[in-house]
Chains A and B, each alone.
Chain A
Amino acid sequence: MSTAETLLELSAVDLVRGRRHLLERVDLQVRRAEIVTLIGPNGAGKTTLLRIALGLLPQTSGKVYRQPGITVGYMPQRLQIDPTFPLQVKRFLAMAGGDPERACSLLEQVGAPHVYESPLQKISGGEMQRVLLARALIRKPDLLVLDEPVQGVDVRGQVELYRLISAIRLEQGCAVLMVSHDLHLVMAATDRVLCLNRHICCSGTPEVVTLDPAYLELFGHLAVYTHDPSHNHGQHQDSPGGADVK
């Protein structure tokens, strides 16, 4: 994997607001077809880091490199649309471009085909996450940036969505940079984990990170993940359920 081209690279990124150091010397690299997950407690700067990576927020110092010409699909943490704004899911998807057929098939892939004609304000939190993911996929991104993609989704749905994300990576060869609250369910769907608490505390494969003292200190006993080696996590051996991607 290390020979693959780099799509995104942050080196020694700092963000200072007033006297507060929000991010400190953060290094981050995402290569093609790689899934990188950022985890960290509330206020660790995860979303801020994503916004810097996307060029939405200027860093105080350090370098941000995005490979020129790549298409980025972005899934924001939440969408707050005024109740007075009449917008159906199909229109929301059409705004990103692409034809209705593609929008429909993506909606089916993410497991929410029934909301196609619903007003955006009427769908549930879980459905909204799926719709946002579909929107991020419409432009066939080289890099998917997902801010808490499974927020508000029940556990079963979370497993499904993570499975879907890794299936998308295999199918389309796009890289994924995502933020997650905990490591439990994201384990199977990620190549590398970065543990962020204003600075990178530890990083590596999920198996390595869960054993790292810095990780344990951040997440305490809640985060202890007992990984049974006989239990197989590899996504290539998973038999995908409803979230199958063809």
Chain B
Amino acid sequence: MLSDFLLRALLGGLGVALVAGPFGSFVVWRRLAYFGDTLAHSALLGVALGFLFRINLTLGILVVCQLLALLLYFGQRQKHLASDTLLGIFSHGALSLGLVTLAFMPQVRVDLFAYLFGDILSIGTADLAWIFGGGGLALGGLLWLWKPLLAMTVHEDLARVEGVAVDRVNWIFLALIALLVAVMMKVVGLLLVTSLLIIPAATARRFATNPELMAILASLIGCLAVIGGLYGSYTWDTPAGPSIVVAACLLFLLSFLVPQWSGAGSPERGNRQ
């Protein structure tokens, strides 16, 4: 029988992996990996502010992630700095600011390891509520934006000419990612959030002929990684968050042993006609 804490860990992990699949696919398609990293790195600042203002820590993370997403949304419209430079500034700035702020509160003892790499085995009922409430909201929002987002991923101007409210969709999408990142923190920690977004999606790519299939496969692969990682963690007493990521990486490598479905082809192997 599964003990309670393991069952909650499994539920939380699976919930996050399910939502991460479709989001991760968009992160891969739109090259937003660094963007996700930046949001995740700001989470520690959210924790610090949570302690400072005595509010729920997940709420603190959520607020900081949302504010940063908004800031980045406007930041990306300027042309003075390349967007990866801008992201680098925000990413490391926010992480360091979080650590420094925590240092100013000596009465607060923080298990840094848990925030950096996740603490899935300590997931409580309230965390599950956050994961399923927040994750469900994020997923619902994504499904609502699915068509316009796909059109924008193909070509923004073309989407705009065809009537998509590009700016609004973009802004909501970033807010949804920020919500998901805040929710994922507990499971894999701020350093590994992006990996759970992009590794399952990258694994799914070889087998997908259309965007929806890739999103669904990414969810399933993410779930497998969570199950495998938790099993490994339980068996060998390894840290759970990193074990999940290792499992995801193994699935990625193993996927190359599986023959590709026809038509899914990756372009570098493509034969032009």
Report which of A85, A96, A122 forms a contact with B162, defined as CB distance below 8 A: A96
Given contacts A82-B28, A84-B29, contact A122 B267 (CB under 8 A): yes
A95 contacts which chain B residues (CB < 8 A)?
A: 147, 150-151, 154
Q: Out of B147, B161, B271, name the residue touching A56 (CB < 8 Å).
A: B161
Known A82-B29, A114-B273, A124-B273; contact A91-B151, beta-carbon cutoff 8 A: no
Q: Which of A2-10, A71-79, A100-108, A151-159 is found at the contact surface with chain B?
A: A71-79
A139-B210 contact in complex given A86-B205, A117-B263, A124-B273, C-beta closer than 8 Å: no
Question: Which residues of chain B come closer than 8 Å to A54, judged between CB atoms?
Answer: 157, 160-161
Inter-chain CA distance A16–B151, complex, in Å, is: 30
Q: How far is the CA of A21 from the CA of B202 in the complex (A)?
A: 44
In contact, B160 and A91 (Cβ under 8 angstroms): no
In the complex, whether B264 has a CB less than 8 A from a CB of chain A is yes
Q: List, in ascending order, chain A residues with CB within 8 A of B168's CB.
A: none
Contact A76 B209 (CB under 8 A): no
How distant is the Cα of A124 from the Cα of B267 in the complex, in angstroms? 12
Q: Which residue from A79, A84, A123 sits with its C-beta under 8 Å from B272? A: A123
Which residues of the other chain, A, contact B205 by a CB distance below 8 angstroms?
84, 86
Q: What is the interface size of chain B, counting residues whose CB is below 8 A from a CB of the partner?
A: 34
List of A residues within 8 angstroms of B155 by Cβ: 76, 79
Give the CA-CA distance A70 to B49 in the complex, in Å.
Answer: 52
- Closest residue of chain A to B26 (Cβ to Cβ) is A85
Classify chain A's interface size. 20 to 34
A92 touches B154 (CB 8 A): yes
Q: Is A235 an interface residue (CB 8 A)?
A: no
User: How far is the CB of A23 from the nearest CB of chain B, in Å?
Assistant: 18
Given contacts A79-B154, A82-B28, A83-B267, contact A56 B160 (CB under 8 A): yes
Once the chains are docked, how many angstroms separate the CA of A118 from the CA of B273?
Answer: 10
Chain A residues with CB under 8 A of B160: 54, 56
**A177–B258 alpha-carbon span in the complex (Å):** 49
Whether the pair B161, A74 counts as a contact (CB closer than 8 A) is yes
Q: Is B211's beta carbon under 8 Å from chain A?
A: yes
State whether B210 touches A88 (Cβ < 8 A). yes
> Given that A119-B267, A123-B272 are contacting pairs, would A86 and B211 also be in contact in the complex, using a CB cutoff of 8 Å?
yes
Most interface-central of A79, A86, A95 (chain B CB within 10 A)? A86
B-contacting residues, A78-136, CB 8 Å? 79, 81-88, 91-92, 95-96, 114, 117-119, 121-124, 135
Check if B143 is an interface residue, CB within 8 A of chain A. no
Beta-carbon contact of A87 and B270 below 8 Å? no
B92 within 8 Å of A (CB atoms): no
Residues of A within 8 A of B29 (CB): 82, 84-85
Task: Collect the chain B residues with CB atoms within 8 Å of residue A135's CB.
Answer: 158
**Contacting residue for B265 out of A51, A56, A114, A122, CB 8 A:** A122
List 4 other contacts, CB 8 Å, given A85-B29, A121-B270: A51-B157, A54-B160, A84-B205, A118-B273
Residues of B within 8 A of A (CB): 28-31, 147, 150-151, 153-155, 157-158, 160-162, 201-202, 205, 208-211, 213-214, 263-268, 270-273
Could you list 24 A-B pairs, sorted by A, with CB under 8 Å? A51-B157, A54-B161, A56-B157, A81-B154, A84-B201, A84-B205, A85-B153, A85-B211, A86-B205, A86-B211, A86-B214, A87-B211, A95-B150, A95-B151, A96-B162, A117-B263, A118-B273, A119-B209, A119-B265, A119-B267, A119-B270, A121-B267, A122-B271, A123-B272
- Residues of A at under 8 Å CB distance from B? 51, 54, 56, 72, 74, 76, 79, 81-88, 91-92, 95-96, 114, 117-119, 121-124, 135, 139, 145
